[in-house]
């Protein structure tokens, strides 16, 4: 049988990496078991992974097709969302109040952006990447800029998704709350962009897999899928990721910036749980619920397996080590392991809470090693202050 992996071993590095990339793209589409999920993610997969739309350096147009839901009777229809709306109004903050006067030297080992163990130095060494102390600092700087760039691109997606959901959602109290979230996301775009351009002087293009998710959500006409994708999956994982960097960074401006963003994001995920819990339980048929359940698992796996910082690989290691070796390094590096652990400990309890982890899907989560997070607290039980406190204390 024709085995690409074997053929790959005999090819020069550049061809080998291109084939590795193509195999990865194909396996992504092949792994999706539910044809309805393939239909929803497939076209975005082609646009993002094959055509690389996110990396063409020109504005990218995505056709949106949801319906705006108007209600001229202005019902008070969701008391918990009303409370969140009040909290969100009171929690607004101005990005200018952050200590932007702090000067940031991204290569200063005395004030590291992220700790040394974020990277698997031994794996790099074995693969032929030998770096001086100065170069090691520079690689850590690249990895931080890559992560923060993806946060920024995710925030742009969140801004548009929040605007779309505000139009489409049927809860009137949800629309008022949604208006505050649109403002929050605009502010997040502002602070990440400002930090990356003014303090780090480095901005990476959108990761292809993140582009796939954003593209699929923008184009999908079903509001609950946008909600699920943006509020629970992308925001839930981002909240975990922000938490890890907040906890680990010694750079005071970044720490303060993330603390403020985390408190906003905790409200956003809380809103996602409130809106989806009732909808999934009461409005969807069992077949529709199963489709969401499958979709959530595919996206969770996409996020776990495919955020491999290949953009950093292309800059630092392409030609010396293979993509496969890089992937192994990223999946084993202690910092990255912690990163994934915290992300999923935030996400999985929310999926459980909204009814998307029924016994039929649990074996697949078990197989993916994600069941250990099943019993954690969901976002409706965790305020932003609780989150920051728990990150500060351990």
Q: Which residues bind Fe ion (CB under 5 A)?
A: 155, 158, 185, 188, 235, 265, 268
HSE value, Cβ hemisphere, 13 Å, CA-based, for 110: 2
Residue of 60, 365, 352 lying closest to 212 (CA atoms):
60
HSE value, Cβ hemisphere, 13 Å, CA-based, for 59: 1
In the complex, what is the shortest distance from the CB of residue 263 to Fe ion, in angstroms, rounded to a whole number? 11
Residue 268 vs 323, nearer CB to Fe ion: 268
Residue 111 vs 203, nearer CB to Fe ion: 203
Spell out the long-range contacts of 9-13 with Cβ–Cβ below 8 A and sequence spacing 24 or more. 13/318, 13/319, 13/320, 13/322
Residue 53 vs 268, nearer CB to Fe ion: 268
In the complex, what is the shortest distance from the CB of residue 261 to Fe ion, in angstroms, rounded to a whole number? 6
Burial group, residue 246, by CB count within 10 angstroms (0-12, 13-18, 19+):
buried
In the complex, what is the shortest distance from the CB of residue 166 to Fe ion, in angstroms, rounded to a whole number? 13
In the complex, what is the shortest distance from the CB of residue 189 to Fe ion, in angstroms, rounded to a whole number? 8
Q: Is the dihedral of CA 13, 15, 16, 17 positive or negative?
A: positive
Residue 267 vs 352, nearer CB to Fe ion: 267
In the complex, what is the shortest distance from the CB of residue 35 to Fe ion, in angstroms, rounded to a whole number? 31
In the complex, what is the shortest distance from the CB of residue 90 to Fe ion, in angstroms, rounded to a whole number? 17
Contact 198, 168 (CB under 8 A): no
Residue written as tokens 């775009």?
Answer: 189
Residue 157 vs 349, nearer CB to Fe ion: 157
Contact 333, 118 (CB under 8 A): yes
Distance CA 368, CA 340 (A): 12
In the complex, what is the shortest distance from the CB of residue 231 to Fe ion, in angstroms, rounded to a whole number? 7
Which tokens belong to 6?
């074997």
Distance CA 374, CA 325 (A): 31
Residue 167 vs 324, nearer CB to Fe ion: 167
Distance CA 145, CA 107 (A): 12
DSSP state of 318: B
Residue 299 vs 329, nearer CB to Fe ion: 299
In the complex, what is the shortest distance from the CB of residue 188 to Fe ion, in angstroms, rounded to a whole number? 4
Which tokens belong to 41?
């993610």
Residue 139 vs 237, nearer CB to Fe ion: 237
């Amino acid at each position: 049988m024709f085995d690409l992996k074997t053929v790959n071993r005999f090819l020069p590095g550049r061809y080998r990496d291109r084939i590795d990339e193509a195999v990865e793209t194909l396996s992504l589409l092949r792994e999706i078991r539910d044809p309805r999920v393939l239909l929803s993610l497939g076209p975005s997969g082609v646009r993002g992974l094959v055509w690389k739309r996110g990396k063409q350096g020109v504005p990218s147009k995505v056709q949106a097709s949801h319906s705006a839901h108007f209600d001229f009777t202005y019902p008070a229809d969701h008391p918990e969302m009303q409370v969140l709306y009040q909290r969100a109004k009171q929690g607004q903050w101005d990005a200018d109040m952050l200590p932007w006067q702090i000067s940031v030297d991204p290569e200063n080992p005395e004030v590291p952006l992220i700790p040394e163990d974020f990277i698997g130095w031994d794996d790099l060494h074995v693969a032929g990447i030998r770096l001086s102390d100065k170069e090691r600092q520079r690689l850590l700087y690249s990895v931080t800029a890559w992560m923060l760039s993806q946060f920024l691109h995710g925030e742009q997606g969140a801004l548009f998704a929040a605007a779309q959901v505000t139009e489409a959602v049927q809860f009137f109290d949800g629309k008022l709350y949604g208006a505050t979230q649109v403002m929050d996301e605009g502010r997040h775009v502002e602070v990440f962009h400002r930090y990356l351009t003014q303090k780090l002087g480095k901005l990476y293009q959108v990761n292809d897999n993140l582009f796939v998710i954003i593209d699929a959500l923008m184009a999908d006409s079903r509001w609950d899928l946008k909600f699920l994708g943006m509020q629970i999956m992308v925001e839930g994982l981002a909240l975990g990721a922000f938490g890890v960097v907040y906890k680990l960074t010694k750079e005071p401006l970044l720490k303060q910036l993330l603390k403020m963003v985390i408190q906003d994001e905790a409200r956003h995920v809380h809103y996602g749980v409130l809106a989806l819990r009732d909808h999934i339980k009461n409005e969807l048929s069992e077949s529709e619920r199963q489709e969401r359940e499958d979709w959530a698992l595919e996206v969770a796996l996409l996020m776990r397996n495919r955020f491999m910082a290949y953009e950093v690989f292309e800059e630092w290691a392409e030609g010396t080590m293979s993509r496969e070796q890089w992937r192994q390094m990223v999946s084993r590096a202690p910092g990255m392991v912690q990163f994934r652990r915290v992300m999923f400990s935030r996400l999985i309890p929310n999926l459980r809470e909204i009814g998307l982890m029924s016994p039929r899907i649990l074996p697949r989560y078990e197989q993916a090693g994600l069941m250990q997070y099943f019993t954690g607290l969901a976002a409706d039980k965790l305020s932003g202050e609780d989150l920051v406190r728990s990150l500060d204390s351990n």
